[in-house]
A and B are shown apart, each in its own frame.
Chain A
Amino acid sequence: MSVMTKPAAATPKRGRKLPGWAIGMLGVAGAIALLSTTSYLTNFPQLTSSGTTQTAVRLALPILLAGLGGLWAERAGVVNIGLEGMMIMGTWGAAWAGYQWGPWAALVSAMVFGALGGLLHAIATVTFGVNHIVSGVAINLLGAGVTKYLSTLLFFPVSHNPRESPPVPKFDTYSAAGLTDWLATLENEQRVVLSDVAGILRGLLTGVSPLTMIAILLVPASYLVLWKTRFGLRLRSCGENPWAAESLGVNVYVHKYIAVIASGALAGIGGAALVLNPGQPGYLEGQTGGRGFIGLAAMIFGNWRPGGLLGGAALFGYADGLQLRSGGETVLALLYGAVILLGVLVILQLVRRKWFAAAFGIAAAVVLYFLYYSLDEIPSELTSYAPHMVTLVVLAVASQRLRMPAADGVVYRRG
């Protein structure tokens, strides 16, 4: 064997310095620290109360599931802007099966309806090479249209309202009884940090439905399937370089089909999470309210990774839950939190000698603080858009360092 005389090039470093779980733990710790500081300084215990957390979890679920749907499709190289439409089909499917046969049937039916939307997207984009955005927008319109027609046809005779389904029975919920009582006492003592952590934990452990557990478990499951199995490697290769994958004997079309159908099914479950939310009677027209798109934003925020996506969904769910639960005043307190966060970021930028970014951060912090100082509460017309605003701001800030799959959105033709 020949001996190579290679120039002593510096061996490239491994990609990341910290493992993903450590970054996740740091993020969680940081978020709790930020929230408890804000809640202490502004005197709004609602920021970390168990009620808020519980609502946040319920509202984060659909976003999380839509985001997972986006993750599956985009990792295989198909942009799925049709998540919203698939989610709408999921809500209808859940209500239709749910009011007749109960919550488990609702879940399965939502999956099937969502998957049908995914199948349609796959046929259009993979087989016929339609532009992914065009197909996705078409599916959004179609989802809204078809469900409206089906509701009038099938729900109206029962519920006497073409925009609403009959009430759908919900899952039983479970709480870790002994633990939550203890946490409740801790929360009510109003001790700094300790009570905040207790409130958040209590919110997470109270009123947990099987759907919540399934959704949370789908995050590590997606990670394991996509990153640790042969199937997942092949699926991701289709999103990175489908020509290379095909040249190695990977059936790109089949993998894209599976990915997009799975994506639709996940979005469908996201729809079911809306219908089976204890706060809702059942299906309502316009119920998704853009959560499919927010799910997509959560996925982008999470840099096309399941852990980050969970963080994004939690953030959006939290903003939504807070405004629903306690209204404009507390959303205003969030502004205060944002000021603190910006302060930390500015210090970081100063340490790194990024003067421009630091100056921008200071300016933003001043504006936000002025808003906080001058307003008593955010007008109620605006508070319901809190999650959308958070989406906008987060995407604008986070989209600088993201890495999407290389062949995402590229129409792939064999040969």
Chain B
Amino acid sequence: MSSSTSVRTDAPAVVLTGITKRFPGVVANSDVHLTVRTGEVHALCGENGAGKSTLMKILYGMQPPDEGTIEVNGEQVRFKTPADAIKAGIGMVHQHFMLADNLTVQENVVLGAEALHGIGAKARRKIQELAGQTGLNVDPGVLVEQLGVADRQRVEILKVLFRGAKVIILDEPTAVLVPQEVDELFATVRGMQEQGFTFLFISHKLDEVRAIADSVTVIRRGTTVGTADPKTVSSRQLAEMMVGSELPSPETRTSTVTDIPVLTVSGLVLSAPDGRALLDSIDLVVHSGEVVGIAGVEGNGQTELVETVMGMRKASAGTVTLGDDDLSKLGTLARREAGIGYIAEDRHRHGLLLTQPLWFNRILGYQTRKPTAKGAWLDREGAKRDTERIVEEFDVRTPGIDVPAAALSGGNQQKLVVGRELAGDPKLLIASHPTRGVDVGAQALIWDEIKNARARGLAVLLISADLDELIGLSDTIKVMLRGRLVADADPSTVTPEDLGSAMTGAGSTSAAVHEEGEN
């Protein structure tokens, strides 16, 4: 599938030689070698925490390397700030968009590059001229907060183009996109590649890497393990290079679905302050031993659904029942005590206190229950003992339970959260993007734990943007669009593409997706 383009044979666009970067206590990169030829799409693959981001920060001048050299177009360079990298023709599209919401598209684009075309009408014309290349179709005077995710990404690419970059680093660009948007992005990348741009594409989604890249370099534990040709190597081989061992898959083998309803949501309505319905009469049943997956483009009400079921938002109408208990009038803590475990979609905002030690984080949400509380008092010893257990059972890699949560990598933080939410035998687990931003190893462990709990009779409500995860883990998939459950899909037959088109409201394209009320 890879587009074979005329790869020129003169000096490579970027050569990194022997790059080493140490932080107190860790070596983020050691002896990394990377050669990117001009005009190619070069993928950099590796688990989270393998050192991809550090390497890119070094190439983009955000951090200086301790050892090693960087060559751009055959000349050795030293970047002190991103401005130096930009001058050398290197631009970066960050995974977490580097945009100011309250500034306009134009202001975001010209920021830092005002010397090129000023900040007025001339810059505006230049932006409109370049916008076509990125597929961006909005007025430059619009505030960025009004744009969707795909358009924000186009603004990021536009920023890089505006600065005249020839080498563009895309840091996990597809993490936030639905399949159709990914295809659009890839079309943009190919079009720009034909015009002579060079791309460094960072990802751990191997199918995408094989679809877009001309060559792949794999990085593991801070060092490069090799470069492969994506046309000849399989996703599985690549993944094994990344992990260094056999691979997990999200697939659940046998069905454990029972007919005992655990979570029953009926007629749930949530209205925005302006009267718009964020959730529109949602009916949903999750049985014991069943995983119900919710598919949807972000911002279509999944977050609101979870937060309403958890009692974080107050429903305008409808009931939420757990087993035989009506939870509709209860607060969040009471709902948790009734037996709901909750893996929040953003562990930094809702799941953890980053500055607090692990054992303290164990108490959150369990401040009224054993083993972390005795009567009205918190039980520190109990919390510490149970944290030790979680660290052990869930393989949380940490120097100890007294370190602050911020000291752990994303995957290990998430393992701690999963361990906590599965403690105390919940009846229902709500998992919002349980493996977002975690590495393959942690992902496998989390999948296994969800599967095991399901086998024990746990009901799971799964929300995920990773369609493979959703299809692999779920017993039933429901598609959410504009606050409504619009379609059901059968995970044993549905493909990510089918789901994707149902998610964007393009209608069902396959027999595996049934629109609501159709059958």
A17 at interface, CB cutoff 8 A? no
Complex interface: stretch among B78-86, B198-206, B450-458, B464-472: B78-86
Do residues A11 and B139 form an inter-chain contact, with CB atoms below 8 A?
Answer: yes
Q: Which residues from chain A contact B139 at a C-beta distance below 8 Å?
A: 11, 14
Are B82 and A4 touching (Cβ within 8 A)?
no
The answer to whether A250 and B112 touch across the interface, beta carbons within 8 angstroms, is yes
The interface-forming segment of B27-35, B97-105, B507-515 is: B97-105
Closest B residue to A414 by beta carbon equals: B62
Q: Can you list 27 A-B contacts (CB < 8 A)? A: A2-B187, A2-B190, A4-B135, A4-B137, A6-B184, A7-B504, A12-B146, A13-B142, A14-B141, A15-B142, A230-B119, A233-B107, A233-B114, A233-B119, A234-B111, A234-B112, A234-B114, A236-B103, A237-B111, A240-B103, A244-B108, A246-B82, A247-B60, A248-B113, A405-B102, A406-B101, A415-B63
Asked whether A241 is an interface residue with its Cβ less than 8 Å from the other chain, the reply is yes
Interface residues on B, range: 35 or more
| CB of B46 to closest CB in A, whole Å | 21
| A393-407, CB < 8 A from B | 403, 405-406
Question: Is A248 within 8 A of B111, CB to CB?
Answer: yes
Q: Is B148 an interface residue (CB 8 A)?
A: yes
Q: List the B residue with the shortest CB-CB distance to A9.
A: B148
- B110 contacts the other chain (CB 8 A): yes
Contact with B along A224-248 (1 / 0, CB 8 A): 0000111001101100110111111
Give bound CA distance, A2 to B184, whole Å: 9
B380 interface residue per 8 A CB criterion: no
Is there contact, CB below 8 Å, between A406 and B100? yes
In the assembled complex, the CB of A176 is this many whole angstroms from the nearest CB of chain B, namely: 36
Contact B102 A245 (CB under 8 A): no
Tally of contacts, chain A with chain B, CB under 8 A: 105
What chain B residues lie within 8 Å of A2 (beta carbons)?
Answer: 135, 187-188, 190-191
- Name the residue on B nearest A404 (C-beta): B102
A228 to B111, CA, bound (A): 12
Whether a CB of chain B sits under 8 angstroms from the CB of A1 is yes
Within the assembled complex, what's the spacing in Å between the Cα atoms of A236 and B135?
28
Q: How far is the CB of B257 from chain A (nearest CB, A)?
A: 36
**A279 at interface (Cβ–Cβ under 8 A)?**
no
Cβ–Cβ contact A1 & B98, under 8 A: no
> Does A415 lie within 8 Å of B135, measured CB to CB?
no
Tell me if A19 counts as interface (CB < 8 A to partner B): no
Q: Determine the interface band of chain A, counting residues with CB < 8 A from chain B.
A: 20 to 34
- When the two chains form their complex, are residues A237 and B103 in contact, meaning their CB atoms are under 8 A apart? yes
Q: Within the complex, which residue of B81, B132, B138 is in contact with A12, where a contact is CB–CB below 8 Å?
A: B138
Chain B, residue nearest A229 (CB):
B119
B505 CB, nearest partner CB in chain A, Å:
9
Q: Does A249 contact B (CB under 8 A)?
A: yes
* Residues from 244 to 292 in A contacting B, C-beta threshold 8 Å: 244-250
Mark out the residues of chain B between 86 and 136 whose CB falls within 8 Å of any chain A CB in the assembled complex.
86, 92, 94, 97-103, 107-108, 110-115, 118-119, 132-133, 135
Q: Are A248 and B98 in contact (CB under 8 A)?
A: yes
Q: Which residue of A lies closest to B506 (CB)?
A: A7
Contact of B188 (CB < 8 Å), options: A4, A229, A237, A246 = A4
Question: Which residue among B81, B92, B188 has the maximum number of chain A CB atoms within 10 Å of its CB?
Answer: B81
Candidates B63, B83, B118, B137; contact of A11 at CB < 8 Å = B137
Say how far B193's CB is from chain A's closest CB, in angstroms.
Answer: 10
Contact A244 B100 (CB under 8 A): yes
A249–B159 CA distance with the chains assembled, in angstroms: 12
CB neighbours of A406 from chain B (8 A): 100-102
Q: Is the CB of B99 within 8 A of A241?
A: yes
Partner of B142, one of A6, A14, A249: A14
Q: Is the CB of B138 within 8 A of A233?
A: no
Residue numbers in B under 8 Å from A7 (CB-CB): 504
Docked-complex contact B112 and A248, CB < 8 angstroms: yes
CA distance A250 to B146 in the complex (A): 24
